[in-house]
Structure 1
Amino acid sequence: MSRNALPAEALDWLTVWHGARMLALVGDTALPRRLSAAGHTVVAITDDAATAAKLSHVDRVTPLLARPEAVPTDPIQFEVVYCHQRLHHYDLDAALPQLARVLRPGGCLSASYLIRDDSVPWVRRLAALLRRFDPMAMKGDYGHESLKALDNSKYFPEVDQRAFRVWQTVTRDDLAALVRAQPLARNLDEKQLAQLLGQVGELYDGAVRPGESLRLPFQLLCWRAWVSHEELTGPVHFPDSGLNIPL
């Protein structure tokens, strides 16, 4: 599943307002394009020059070649800062005060991660089967533990949390491809891999209803952290234009 697969309901919750002025922390062009299409005005900060060049041609998107640890803009510029699937890439001790500085009073830092939901019985059975060969199978680190930094930040004393369920349709061939993509597949000989794929196929056949496909569940974890400027060490001067957030 694309890690930019954001349900409209979730995106509305994360971006808070219609037509917001936003700072997006990005690694590719997908998220700024989605935000622009939703009617937001976006400054997209990236440290990849090729991504910045591509974004220069997207309506309502201004690329900014930089990192969030040192945002080169005036303070009180944005209603929302949004980061999807990337918060763990940054030094949050340095980045969070910078992001607080550029948010308007009443604004928020939103962050989200799409992670696989292993609570569904057939997914648990698949994981148990693969872990016979590799105890670490299907235990990927998504980076979502970085969200806890928002819960503990003095710059964002109030935090809202929501989780949205997202489903991906999975065919029998898709499930086989998922298994082949696991690191454990490289350590099996052809006979062992064929035996494993046969067992995975049997699991699929036993879990799916006739004429249907399985659905692989994901959870979209969403945080909204509301800014406070009281703890910033440097002075922040609020222009009149920075005191109101359009509703």
Structure 2
Amino acid sequence: MSRTAFPTDALDWLTVWHGVRGLAVDAEPHLARRLTDAGHALFALSDDVDRVPRLSGIRNVTPVVGRPEALPMDPFAVEVVLAHQCLHRFDLEQALPQFARVLRPGGCLSASYLIRDDSVPWVRRLAALLRRFDPMAMKGDYGHEALAALDESRYFPEVERRAFRVWRSVSRDDLQNLVRAQPLASHLDEAQLSQLLDQVADLYDGAVRPGESLRLPFQLLCWRAWVSHEELTSPVRLPDSGLAIPL
């Protein structure tokens, strides 16, 4: 979730149990640390070799270099696969059976996406202001449409969903910097950008209470997809020493 705090209740919902052995897909170090601080042990998968040194220094994290389409892991290795803000990056026709293969019976794939919530009035006004300059402004492509693939997957026939509200405090400078970072800013001349930023400042001052800052709302969309091994084309069998998760 980058600079926005990951709610503890959402993290607990996604990890399901206490002290799980999990696979974190494309996990940033800060999220891996949150998970291990909560008592979980992780394999942290990344195809970015530069990230490995940052992951290897975290207690109870074992970095794994690779991609979900060809997981270099044994069957039934983990209870939970965690994928935050990343499913859309992968070929899910290949990745979903790989996730199913490494999950123990009774395990789940927990996927999440953080998206901005534009239902709050001041955010709608900000979007309308920016769309005077660019009709596509603040129409973010977060990648969360990839979650729909879980509904269609025979490897994960049961899916649960929850949404958590998340707030991020923003100052006037933060909001103006957010606008500067929009693609539309590069197409405005200095006078136009200055005028727009003044209007953003006015919007902020009109929406904020004295002595406070505005809060930018997000929704954390969370899905838990429960594994079925019946459809794997190459059947895997639980070894005698393997553990099934009690339900």
TM normalised by structure 1 equals 0.96
Q: Are 2:241 and 1:211 aligned?
A: no
Equivalent residues in 2 for 1:29-178, closer than 5 Å: 29-178=29-178
Match of 1:188 in 2: 188
Q: Secondary structure at the match of 1:219?
A: strand
Shifted more, 40-49 versus 53-62: the winner is 53-62
Shifted more, 187-196 versus 95-104: the winner is 187-196
Cα drift, residue 57 of structure 1: 2.2
Aligned-pair RMSD on alpha carbons?
Answer: 1.4
Q: Secondary structure at the match of 1:49?
A: coil
Give ranges in structure 1 of 5+ residues lacking alignment. none
| Residues in 1 aligned to 2:64 and 2:4: alpha-carbon distance in whole angstroms | 20
Give the aligned residue type for 2:219. Q
| Residues in 1 aligned to 2:11 and 2:119: alpha-carbon distance in whole angstroms | 24
| Residues in 1 aligned to 2:207 and 2:219: alpha-carbon distance in whole angstroms | 21
| Residues in 2 aligned to 1:16 and 1:201: alpha-carbon distance in whole angstroms | 43
| Residues in 2 aligned to 1:243 and 1:2: alpha-carbon distance in whole angstroms | 34
Q: Which whole-Å deviations, capped at 9, do the CAs of 1:11-46 have from their partners, x for residues lacking one?
A: 000000110000110153222222111110101111
Closer, same or farther: CA 45–245 of 1 in aligned 2, 3 Å: same
Cα drift, residue 240 of structure 1: 3.6
Cα drift, residue 2 of structure 1: 2.3
Decide whether the 8 Å contact of 1:170 with 1:214 is kept in 2.
yes
| Residues in 1 aligned to 2:166 and 2:130: alpha-carbon distance in whole angstroms | 23
Give the aligned residue type for 2:235. P
Match of 2:226 in 1: 226
Cα drift, residue 239 of structure 1: 1.9
TM normalised by structure 2 equals 0.96
Cα drift, residue 246 of structure 1: 6.1
Match of 2:8 in 1: 8
Shifted more, 170-179 versus 28-37: the winner is 28-37
Give ranges in structure 2 of 5+ residues lacking alignment. none
Shifted more, 229-238 versus 1-10: the winner is 1-10
Decide whether the 8 Å contact of 1:163 with 1:221 is kept in 2.
yes
Q: Secondary structure at the match of 2:142?
A: coil
Q: Which whole-Å deviations, capped at 9, do the CAs of 1:78-123 have from their partners, x for residues lacking one?
A: 1000010111111100000010011011100000011110000100
Closer, same or farther: CA 61–27 of 1 in aligned 2, 3 Å: closer
